[in-house]
Amino acid sequence: MSKKSKSKDKPKKHSHDGRVKGEGVAVKDLDAKQTDIHVKREKMKTKDYEQELAGLQIELVKMQEWIKARGLKVVILFEGRDAAGKGGAIKTITMSLNPRYARIAALGTPTEREKTQWYFQRYAPHLPAAGEMVLFDRSWYNRAGVERVMGFCTEEEYQEFLRSCPEFEKMLIRAGIILIKYWFSVSDEEQERRFQSRIDDPTKRWKLSPMDMVSRSKWVEYSRAKDTMFAYTDTKQSPWNVVNADNKKRARLNVIADLLGKIPYKDLTPEAIKLPPRQDDKGYVRPPMTDQTFVPEVF
């Protein structure tokens, strides 16, 4: 990925995984142990990853400025298996962005009151206003995944979701929201390795929720639920974009490159920024430093 600045005259599009537009491979069900997609690629060197990421993050900042200036409303959904790398990808995307305009929505378990609401109601307050981008770390698709598999919803509620979800998303799109959906696909072998890594690392054990543990024994049920979800909600107006997430570094770069290509933008970066002169501190007397409590310098 080139680090050169974008032209200010023509919106540029990035291709997924560095390929020229139109040369991508067909997306298949990546959760079914398909070796044609989950091919083991050599690990990406950290130096190469950081170099590519630095250029992409500059472009993300440019894209955010374009979204703000044009008053666009962007919603990005991140779904996938447990330990598929959704959270890491979201963190990588947002780390260089202005948090006032790029928000993460990661909703917890619904309250008793929320359980009685229209299903999509608890998600609506998190939708963006003009100039904002909201990244959902899991979304209303919980009903088609964990709620379905774990029996947290009735059959009637599940069937109603499958019918109403495409209509709900059409409403969002008609309201001017740019809706982008990513499904992070990870092989069962890689998911198992990541689970073990979380168990061995005390700083990551909090990531292993009770639902994560149960998901190990319900791999087939989750696969079937995902297949049904795609059959109903992978529409022309709002398609799913499947990410091969077995390699975290490549997955993050590929998602960012794909995202940049889905929102054509122009570089609005000022040619130069000149700082104004600092105000003269004449007449200002700083209070004694002994009047303040400082953090102990133990390092």
Cα separation, 2 vs 20, whole angstroms? 14
pLDDT in tens, 137-167: 999 999 999 999 999 999 999 999 999 999 9
Residue 6 C-beta-side C-alpha neighbours within 13 Å: 25
pLDDT band at 282 (very low <50, low <70, confident <90, very high): confident
User: 232: exposed, middle or buried (C-beta count within 10 Å: 0-12, 13-18, 19+)?
Assistant: middle
Task: Please name every residue paired with 76 in a beta bridge, in sequence order, or none if there are none.
Answer: 135, 180
Stated pTM of the model: 0.81
Cα separation, 147 vs 159, whole angstroms? 12
DSSP alpha helix (H) spans, the chain: 46-70, 86-94, 112-115, 146-150, 155-174, 188-200, 210-215, 219-233, 248-262
Mean pLDDT along residues 7-30? 39
| Tokens matching residue 180 | 């982008």
Q: Determine phi and psi for 285, rounding to 5 degrees.
A: -120, 120
pLDDT of residue 30: 43
pLDDT band at 13 (very low <50, low <70, confident <90, very high): very low
Residue 218 C-beta-side C-alpha neighbours within 13 Å: 20
Residue 182 C-beta-side C-alpha neighbours within 13 Å: 28
- In terms of residues, how long is the chain? 299
pLDDT at 23 over 70: no
